[in-house]
Amino acid sequence: MYKKEILYLYFIKEYKEYEAMLYFLQPSGKKITLRAKGFFKTDSKNIHRFKISTFIKTEYFSSPLNDYGILKTGEKINFDYKEKDSHLNLLNIINKLLILTEGDLNKQFYNTIYYLFSNFDVGILNWNLNLFYLLVQVLIAKSVYIELKKCVICNRNSEISSFSFDEGGLVCKRHLNKNIKLMSVDLIKKIVFLFKTKSLKRLNNLSLSFAEEKIMLSLYANYFNDILGYKINFYR
């Protein structure tokens, strides 16, 4: 099947002589591997055009009989922003996340990365918030049930006091412990909002205090470290 699509490139692997396997995320959130012939030949134009952490306008052939497709052409999309080390750090984490998560993700995951690229220079992006949102999208794509209405342990909907990835949702006052600490009602509302919103604009308008951001960081740090087995460096 012939397809024309803008794909996000997150990993490149050498394959046979001069060939490369390129790992992409599609707009649907599905992952696709494309074989690129002559990729590593020194006279190949591809080597200069294709780097990880870029969006590429591609034409390719895929077949249900193969677990990879064949890349026909590709052209890098340029976004208008000044590249900084902090951008690269963020994109490295996103790429790692794509490598570590098995199977397909969702549309919203792709859209979020696209949104980040389109808004890097706008100056309103909170990267930790966007990363947290991407993790939420991983859970949604994997159909992991997260309880957002009542305490996930006792089913009461009064005195909701925290949120826990380990438990799988909201937790009431009775079930706080040394790992599940009291959170403000306001922060709990913000966390629930992250699971519900599809609007990246509204997401990026959300304001977090330093203390709230610290709590969110520790939530997703634990998620990365325990569930994905990957240590990340944070921004603060």
Residues that bind Zn ion (CB under 5 A): 151, 153-154, 172, 174-175
Least Å distance between CB 158 and Zn ion? 9
> Cα 10–41–66 angle (5° rounding)?
55
* Least Å from the CB of residue 178 to Zn ion: 16
Complex with Zn ion: residue 151 or 200, whichever CB lies closer: 151
Q: Which helix (H) or strand (E) holds 36?
A: strand 31-36
Q: Please report how close the Cβ of residue 163 comes to Zn ion at its closest, in angstroms.
A: 12
Exposure on the CB side of residue 36, measured as CA atoms within 13 A: 25
Residue placing its CB nearer to Zn ion in the complex, 93 or 171: 171
Q: Which is nearer to Zn ion, 174 or 201 (CB)?
A: 174
Cβ–Cβ under 8 Å, residues 133 and 49? no
Looking at beta carbons, which residue is closest to Zn ion? Answer: 151
Radius of gyration of the chain (CA): 20
Question: Cβ closer to Zn ion: 57 or 174?
Answer: 174
Residue closer to Zn ion (CB basis): 70 or 154: 154
Least distance (Å) between residue 151 CB and Zn ion = 3
Alpha helices by DSSP H, the chain: 46-49, 85-100, 107-119, 127-141, 185-196, 200-205, 210-222
Output the CA–CA distances (angstroms, integers) from residue 8 to 19, 137, 210, in the order listed. 19, 17, 32
Least spacing, CB of residue 159 vs Zn ion, in Å? 8
CA-CA distance, 103 to 32, in Å (whole number)? Answer: 10
Q: Report phi then psi at 175, rounded to 5.
A: -105, 20
**Cβ neighbours, 10 Å, residue 155:** 10
Nearer to Zn ion (CB atom), residue 84 or residue 156: 156
Smallest distance from Zn ion to CB 63, Å: 51
